[in-house]
Chains A and B, each alone.
Chain A
Amino acid sequence: MADSADRYDRRAFLARGATTAAALGLAGVGLPTLLSSCSSTTNNKATPRLSAPGIGTGKPKRGGTITVGLNSEIDGFLPSTNHFDNSGLTYANSVYDTLTMIAADGSAKPYLATSVTPNPDLTVWTITLRPGVTFHDGSPLNADVVLANIQSLQASALTGQALKGVVSTMVKVSDMSVAITCSEPIVAFPHYLATQVGYVVGMAQLESQSSTKPIGTGPFSLVEWVPNDHMTVQRNPHYWRAGLPYLDGVTYRPIAEDQSRENSLKSGTIDLMVTRDPNAIRDLQHDSGYQVVRNPSVGQNDMDFVILNTSVDPTNDLVVRQALAHAIDVDQLVKLFGAGIAKPNLSLFAPGSPYRTADNGYPKYDLAKAKALVAQAAPNHGGSIKISLATITDPRLLNEIQAIASMWELAGITTTISEVEQVTFIDNLVTGHFQAYTDEMFAATDPDLNYVWMSPTTANPPIALNFSRNKDDALEAALQQGRTSSDPAVRIKAYQEVDKRLSADLPYLWASQATWSLMGSNSVENFNNLTLPDGSAALGFASGTFDPTPAWRKD
């Protein structure tokens, strides 16, 4: 498996090499299941939702269609072979259902399954399926379909490698339940079922391996997909959740340019849009004509950072990496590009996360120290430090790297900047042909979902999902502890250790959290009021992923 991302649209999800985490289908959103009780963010449920943007106030209205502007296009709808970024997950949410769904508090709750239960040592997970659910083609949801899905995921070059450490064997327990055996205890297993690998695809589609004609159990079914232009879905009249969805149909429009998408929303061309442009939030958040849903503070959001290749000269030198880190004035960067919305965040975890430590040891901005480190390291690298910093072709990112480059130059680091196309960008990350790239990833509802990006086990050439190729045994130990331990306290310690190890190793130079948001004009209501089957609140919009099930038109 290789490519960790969409190779598709140019500025489509160009921004910040996004893709990555979500694209592999390994990312999800929210807090760790088992820790939800200790989470400090339980106030989510208590928030009065009536006045919140995206929460409907009146009686639901049936009928009508909406148009949603997405930031990227996808390469297809087959979970085992296509790269689901946030837009891909949004498409998938419309036509498929996942076995579990993330609740508003960040826990994973059964969705297409009625229960997902582990054995005592968390190595065998039994999934019991919801009865009476049918696919768009009329075929029933049963254990055979689910088994076939997981087999197909395992066989795929894309998802197989990611599942390798998770799923070992599986058996059909009954017509409506399957048991999955893991090679080691996987605490976050239910979270995996809420990601790309949790979508259940109809048997007919599995057999045809069609990436263009999705057959799911979802609230909508495909009408038409014209890549790069639109994807249209219509209401599934036999949807298993009675009364849902309200809309007759949804049209998704990939509009890569942030500014174009914002213009489209302003001109009424689209009703809703997904964006990570902080300028849009600044422009519209106080405008009564729009409802702006910010990324929830639940779980891990995507991080914006510079990824360094620890296997090539001179970034293989820790002193150089330290110099680079000390030289970046993150406050200034965020001030320049955050539109007053983004906040500096020098950690894998956001403030409020239980995994966040008071001090993770990440190098502070210190130009003098950076200069000293450069002087110290230079003799080992031919007398001067030369760095090549690149990003994908995106006007905002291009400005960011120019600012970073000028900061590095001030510290005496010769920096050349360049732009690369999305596809080349990802290829180079995977194959290690880069020194420093801007990147954006790590959105997850459980930190274990990010294991594959950081583990030394995936850092080996020629193709490495641990792009920075950082091989730190202490980091691996902490990651393993977090993965296998069911004790919340142990996990907190483990992931705090992960954060500290990253600060020490410096494969990633942190900047800020991604400023995802979902914006709607007032023609759409209730578009962020996703519920679980029992009526309790689900997470809804997070990290650029949207579910249209609860939305209705106002007019």
Chain B
Amino acid sequence: MLRFIATRLVQLVVICFLISVFAFLLVHLLPGDPTLAILGPNDTPAARAVLLHQLGLNKGLLSQYGTWIINILHGNLGASFLTKQTVSNALGVAVPIDLELVIVSQVLALLVAIPMALVAALRPNRIFDRVATTSTFAMLSLPTFVAGPLLVLVFAVTLKWVPATGFNRLSQGFGPNLKSVILPSVALAIGSITVYYRLLRADLIATLQEDFVTMARSKGLSTRYILMRHVMRPSSFSLLAGAGISIGTLFTGAFVVEVLFQLPGIGFQLVNAIYGRDYLVVQGMALVAAVAFVVVNFGVDFLLTVLDPRVRRA
């Protein structure tokens, strides 16, 4: 167990290191003089001096990387050349939004997918199962950039139930906060529902055929108890693994959703920075996003190991 975690931690560190090298080189791979690319016509001696200092471009590549990474480890990710806002500040705005989006959308997806999968798996190939399985196929084929505008048109513009754009922070009240994230979360959840439903359904059907389920029935335990205590947990591992996978989809979806709903999450800010040629922000945001992606995946793996006693042996 400890060895397993240690191995994974080493992998994690190596991958994070490689990501940082990639992000670092990003600015250096810019054709020509990176300062010129960044400053554009804003290229005044003063601005250039500041930028040179910030990038450490006047030193060797290795020591530049050293300085850069040490700065980052101290929480200094640089600042936007446009707004002067530090990347850490921007992240302070973006991260809570992304966290909430991910949590709310995944909770929604699970709230829909689990009962659906349970009902479908208890009576496989019956009407509910067929309808549910077909409709998840439909959802799988509904990309965020198609579903999102539709949702806005119906629920924000026509019904006026929720805002069409923007994010209300939790400090502005729970109600407004929830209202502002619910629609984007639904748009994001659509893809996850399918992944969760299908994984869970397949697993549930397999688990329900296990002897230990018959055994539990033979003990006279109620169906609900058996489902909750005996079936769900062994069936939830690929669900959890699916959640890990789902992060990738969430990434793609979140970028679209954030732009569509004007939520200043990482995706939105990154797209803006790319359009504004704000390379330092691109660099910082990409670094954080990629590291977060890897760390979350690591977390999922870790959770799987903790939850499944059988993996621990390995």
- Residues of A whose CB lies within 8 Å of any CB of B are 2-3, 7-12, 69, 75-76, 157, 211-212, 226-230, 253, 255-257, 260-261, 263-264, 266-270, 393, 421-424, 426-427, 430-431, 463
Interface centre among B41, B156, B167, B262 (most CB of A within 10 A): B41
Contacts of B294 in A (CB 8 A): none
Q: CB-CB < 8 A to B40: which residues of A?
A: 2-3, 7, 423, 427
Q: Which residues of B contact A228 (CB under 8 A)?
A: 264, 268-269, 272
CA distance in complex: A11, B264 (Å):
14
Dominant SS at the A interface? loop
Q: Which residues of A contact B84 (CB under 8 A)?
A: 76, 211-212
Is B157 located at the chain interface by the 8 A CB criterion? yes
In the A-B complex, the 3 residue pairs with the closest CB atoms: A10-B275, A2-B41, A269-B163
Interface string of B274-291 (1 = CB under 8 A from A): 111110000000000000
Once the chains bind, are A423 and B276 in contact (CB under 8 Å)? Answer: yes
Contact B83 A227 (CB under 8 A): yes
Tell whether, in the assembled complex, residue B164 and residue A253 are in contact, meaning their CB atoms are under 8 Å apart. no
Interface status of B242 (Cβ within 8 A of chain A)? no
B contact residues vs A (CB 8 Å cutoff)? 40-44, 80, 82-85, 90, 93, 152-153, 156-157, 160, 162-167, 260-262, 264, 268-269, 271-272, 274-278
CB distance from A312 to the nearest CB of B (A): 18
**In whole Å, how far is A148's beta carbon from the nearest beta carbon of chain B?**
19
Evaluate contact between A7 and B160: CB separation under 8 angstroms.
no
Q: Which residues of A contact B268 (CB under 8 A)?
A: 228
Residue of B nearest to A431 (CB): B41
Q: When the two chains form their complex, are residues B262 and A253 in contact, meaning their CB atoms are under 8 A apart?
A: yes
Contact B275 A11 (CB under 8 A): yes
Cβ-defined contact, A3 with B41, below 8 A: yes
B164 in contact with A267 (CB, 8 Å) = yes
**A8 & B93 in contact (Cβ 8 Å cutoff):** no
Max chain B C-beta neighbours (<10 A), residue from A76, A227, A257: A227
Q: A255-B166, A421-B275 are in contact. List 20 more A-B contacts (CB 8 A).
A: A2-B40, A8-B83, A8-B276, A10-B274, A11-B275, A12-B272, A76-B84, A157-B42, A228-B268, A253-B166, A256-B262, A257-B262, A268-B160, A270-B165, A270-B166, A421-B274, A423-B277, A426-B41, A431-B41, A463-B41
CB nearest to B179 among chain A residues? A269
Report the Cα distance A422→B272, complex, angstroms.
10
Show 11 residue pairs from A and B whose CB-CB distance is below 8 angstroms, ordered by the A residue.
A2-B41, A2-B43, A8-B83, A9-B276, A76-B84, A157-B44, A257-B262, A267-B160, A269-B165, A423-B275, A427-B40
Residues of B within 8 Å of A253, CB to CB, are 165-166, 262
Known: A260-B165, A260-B262. A267 touches B156 (CB 8 A): yes
A311 CB, nearest partner CB in chain B, Å = 17
Of all chain B residues, the one with the shortest Cβ separation from A67 is B166
Question: In the complex, are the beta carbons of A260 and B41 less than 8 A apart?
Answer: no
Q: CA separation between A76 and B79, bound complex, in Å?
A: 14
A264 touches B277 (CB 8 A): no
Interface centre among B43, B153, B275, by most A CB within 10 Å?
A: B275
Q: How many Å lie between the Cα of A157 and that of B152 in the bound state?
A: 43
- Evaluate contact between B93 and A7: CB separation under 8 angstroms: no
Q: Which of A69, A226, A260, A426 contacts B264 (CB 8 A)?
A: A226
**Interfacial chain B residues near A421, Cβ < 8 Å:** 274-277
Give A8 to B85 CA distance when docked, in angstroms: 12
Looking across the interface, which residue of chain A has its beta carbon closest to that of B269? A228
Whole-angstrom CA separation of A264 from B261 in the bound complex = 9
Chain B nearest CB, measured from A444 CB (Å): 23
Residue pair B83, A76 in contact (C-beta under 8 Å): yes
Known: A227-B83, A227-B90. A266 touches B164 (CB 8 A): yes
Are A9 and B160 in contact (CB-based, < 8 A)?
no
CB distance from A421 to the nearest CB of B (A): 5
Say how far B162's CB is from chain A's closest CB, in angstroms. 7
Chain A residues whose C-beta falls within 8 Å of the C-beta of B83 in the assembled complex: 8, 75-76, 211-212, 227
A411 to B160, CA, bound (A): 48
Which of the residues A3, A10, A11, A229 comes within 8 Å of B42, measured between beta carbons?
A: A3
Q: Are A260 and B90 in contact (CB under 8 A)?
A: no
Q: Which residues does chain A contribute within 8 Å of B42, judged by CB atoms? A: 2-3, 7, 157
Q: How far is the CB of A466 from chain B (nearest CB, A)?
A: 14
Q: With the chains together, A256 CA to B166 CA distance in Å?
A: 12
B163 and A267 contacting across the interface, CB-CB below 8 Å: yes
| Docked-complex contact B165 and A229, CB < 8 angstroms | no
How far is B261's CA from A463's CA once the two chains are assembled, in angstroms? 38
- Known pairs A11-B275, A260-B260, A264-B165; A269 contacts B156 (CB<8 A): yes
Q: Which residues on A sit within 8 Å (CB–CB) of B152?
A: 260, 263
Query: Do A266 and B264 touch across chains, with their CB atoms under 8 A apart?
Result: no
Chain A nearest CB: distance from B53 CB in Å?
A: 17
Q: Chain A nearest CB: distance from B49 CB in Å?
A: 14
B162 and A10: CB pair below 8 A? no
Residues of A within 8 A of B41 (CB): 2-3, 426-427, 430-431, 463
B90 surroundings in chain A (CB, below 8 A): 227
* Other-chain residue from B44, B85, B275 in contact with A9 (beta carbon distance below 8 A): B275
Contact B165 A255 (CB under 8 A): yes
- Report the bound CA distance from A257 to B152 in whole Å: 14
